[in-house]
């Protein structure tokens, strides 16, 4: 009998991957499955980025790099941050990591242990809670409510902080609800955090460039008063359609930077070199593809929300960011997870049930609109037909 640490009895998972596997399995059996489950752009990485990786390989970039990443990439990240947020940061604080997830893994590992409390959004990205539980810390959910436009309430969040709180995780624009926290709420959060100097903040801004209707993304980096305890999570996966490359970056305050570097050396050494050159080309090359992708997501967003609201029993707020809609399905009489499963198995539409993102996700589904307009329209039709049939069956 092998005995592992107890954390492995508590570690969770990301059900989107299980849904993807099942959808692929059904597809391989010849079923026509429309996937609105997975959180990755359906666009290809732009050519000039792919070419940069090929060139890096041909130029002989085959070895380890510095654990923090190649210098030109760290500099390009700093330049990009100034361009987007107006905040000057030193490239010396940037760590290039193999995907956005690695930053949350590292930050939660740094602060989580038995007796500690970590605040995280619910509904939220499932790995936050999973990792908090893995470390033995107590996960403290911060409710993300539909009536607040799926943004966190700073007052509610601040009210959950205790002497044991070590880390607060915030995510805007948010997965799975598509909410964008308004500036006034971020102002209030940052002002309130001054009362709790023992608390670090992990701000997951991986969807920071995906906002709509002129809604501005407010980076927590733009508040100098908490920069000495802010960990910023960002990366290339979503905005440059590079999920499979595994490339992200984090900014670390001085007090944590060396710890993060040591963790990198212990765990992954560095991100593979050609991918780093690809990331450099992404930041320094033409940005047209980014604009086009966000414009296309915007068009699909309206299509998906209008279509969902036309289905009896379903109501959906217009998301302000990311590429997810989070319809309320309570009036259909279904629970979210059985509905997700029935839609996949019987109607060939893959979606994720809200409870996969936290207890407060019950009554909701996550619909990723990272699929073509045509497929979105077909999926909506199938959902409508399926639910109408279910309603008739229920009445009979």
Report the residue number, 101 or 320, with the smaller CB distance to ligand PLP.
Answer: 101
Tokens 């964008």 locate to: 180
Closest to ligand PLP by CB, 101 vs 229, is: 101
- Using CB under 6 A as the binding rule, whether residue 243 contacts ligand PLP is answered as yes
Among 46, 69, 91, 100, binds ligand PLP (CB under 6 A): 100
CA–CA dist 94, 251 (Å, integer): 5
Which residue lies nearer to ligand PLP by CB, 125 or 134?
A: 125
Q: Contact letters (x/-) for ligand PLP, 198-237, by CB under 6 A?
A: ------x-x----------------------------x-x
Q: How far is the CB of 77 from ligand PLP (least distance, A)?
A: 14
Is the Cβ of residue 101 or residue 129 nearer to ligand PLP in the bound state? 101
Q: CB of residue 127 vs ligand PLP: minimum separation in angstroms? A: 7
Distance CA 301, CA 318 (A): 8
Which residues on neighbouring strands pair with residue 121, listed in sequence order? 142
* Residue 335: other Cβ atoms inside 10 A: 15
CA distance 275 to 271: 7
Smallest distance, ligand PLP to C-beta of residue 201, A: 15
Query: Could you give the CA distance from residue 17 to residue 352 in angstroms, rounded to a whole number?
Result: 10
Closest alpha carbon to 215 in 249, 186, 176: 186
Nearer to ligand PLP, 179 or 348 (CB): 179
Under the criterion CB under 6 A, does residue 39 sit at the interface with ligand PLP?
A: yes
Closer residue to ligand PLP (CB): 248 or 348: 248
Contact 383, 311 (CB under 8 A): yes
Measured from the CB of residue 19, what is the shortest distance to ligand PLP in angstroms? Answer: 13
Residue 279 engages ligand PLP in binding (rule: CB under 6 A): no
Q: Which two tokens stand for residue 264?
A: 């990198």
Which of these segments, 17-25, 62-70, 95-103, 300-308, binds ligand PLP (CB under 6 A)?
A: 95-103
Q: How many helices (H) and strands (E) does the chain have?
A: 13, 12
Q: Which residues on neighbouring strands pair with residue 130, listed in sequence order?
A: none
- CA 304/CA 299 separation, integer angstroms: 9
Q: What does the alpha-carbon distance between residue 234 and residue 265 come to, in Å, rounded to a whole number?
A: 20
Angstrom distance (rounded) from CA 293 to CA 69: 27
Applying CB under 6 A, does 181 fall inside the site for ligand PLP?
no
324-325 and 365-368 as β-strands: parallel, antiparallel, unpaired? antiparallel
Rg (CA), the chain: 21
Question: By CB under 6 A, is residue 248 in contact with ligand PLP?
Answer: yes
Stretch that binds ligand PLP, among 3-11, 43-51, 93-101, 279-287 (CB under 6 A): 93-101
Which residue in 45, 65, 175, 276 binds ligand PLP (CB under 6 A)?
Answer: 175
Nearer to ligand PLP among residue 171 and residue 371 (C-beta): 171
Work out which of 69, 91, 99, 353 binds ligand PLP, going by CB under 6 A: 99
Q: Closest distance between ligand PLP and the C-beta of residue 172, in Å?
A: 9
Nearest to 236 by CA among 46, 14, 63: 46
Does residue 149 belong to the site contacting ligand PLP (CB under 6 A)? no
- Asked whether position 274 contacts ligand PLP by CB under 6 A, the answer is no
Residues between 358 and 377 that touch ligand PLP (CB under 6 A): none
Size of interface with ligand PLP, in residues (CB under 6 A): 13
> How many CA atoms lie within 13 Å of 96's alpha carbon, on the beta-carbon side?
32
* Residue placing its CB nearer to ligand PLP in the complex, 104 or 314: 104
Whether 333 and 313 have beta carbons less than 8 Å apart is answered as yes
What 3-state class would DSSP assign to 162?
coil
User: Which residues contact ligand PLP by CB under 6 A?
Assistant: 39, 99-101, 125, 171, 175, 204, 206, 235, 237, 243, 248
């Amino acid at each position: 009998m092998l005995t592992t640490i107890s954390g492995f009895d508590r570690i969770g998972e990301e059900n989107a991957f299980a849904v993807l596997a099942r959808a692929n399995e059904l597809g391989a059996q010849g079923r026509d499955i429309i996937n609105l489950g997975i959180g990755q752009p359906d666009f290809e990485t732009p050519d000039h980025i792919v070419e940069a990786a090929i060139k890096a390989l041909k130029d002989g970039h085959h070895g380890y790099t510095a654990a923090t990443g190649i210098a030109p990439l760290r500099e390009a990240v700093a330049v990009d941050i100034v361009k987007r947020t107006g905040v000057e940061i030193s490239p010396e604080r940037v760590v290039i990591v193999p995907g956005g997830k690695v930053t949350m893994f590292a930050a939660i590992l740094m602060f989580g242990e038995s007796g500690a409390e970590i605040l995280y959004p619910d509904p939220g990205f499932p790995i936050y809670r999973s990792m908090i539980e893995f470390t033995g810390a107590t996960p403290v959910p911060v409710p993300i409510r539909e009536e607040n436009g799926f943004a966190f309430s700073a007052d509610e969040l601040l009210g959950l902080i205790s002497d044991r709180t070590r880390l607060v995780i915030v995510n805007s624009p948010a997965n799975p609800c598509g909410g964008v926290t308004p500036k006034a709420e971020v102002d209030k959060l940052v002002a309130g955090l001054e009362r709790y100097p023992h608390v670090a903040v992990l701000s997951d801004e991986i969807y920071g460039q995906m906002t709509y209707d002129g809604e501005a993304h407010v980076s927590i980096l733009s508040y100098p008063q908490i920069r000495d305890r802010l960990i910023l999570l960002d990366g290339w996966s979503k905005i440059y359609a590079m999920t499979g490359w595994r490339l992200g970056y984090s900014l670390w305050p001085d007090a944590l930077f060396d710890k993060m570097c040591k963790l990198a050396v212990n765990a992954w050494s560095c991100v593979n070199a050609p991918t780093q050159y690809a990331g450099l080309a992404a930041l320094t090359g033409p940005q047209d593809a980014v604009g086009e992708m966000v414009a296309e997501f915007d068009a699909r967003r309206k299509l998906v929300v209008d279509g969902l609201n036309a289905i009896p029993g379903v109501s959906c707020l217009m998301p302000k960011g990311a590429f997810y809609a989070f319809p309320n399905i309570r009036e259909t009489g279904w629970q979210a997870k059985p509905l997700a499963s029935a839609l996949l198995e019987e109607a060939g539409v893959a979606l994720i049930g809200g409870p996969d993102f936290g207890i407060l996700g019950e009554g909701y589904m996550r619909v990723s609109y990272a699929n073509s307009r045509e497929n979105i329209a077909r999926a909506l039709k199938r959902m409508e037909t399926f639910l109408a049939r279910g309603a008739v069956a229920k009445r009979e």
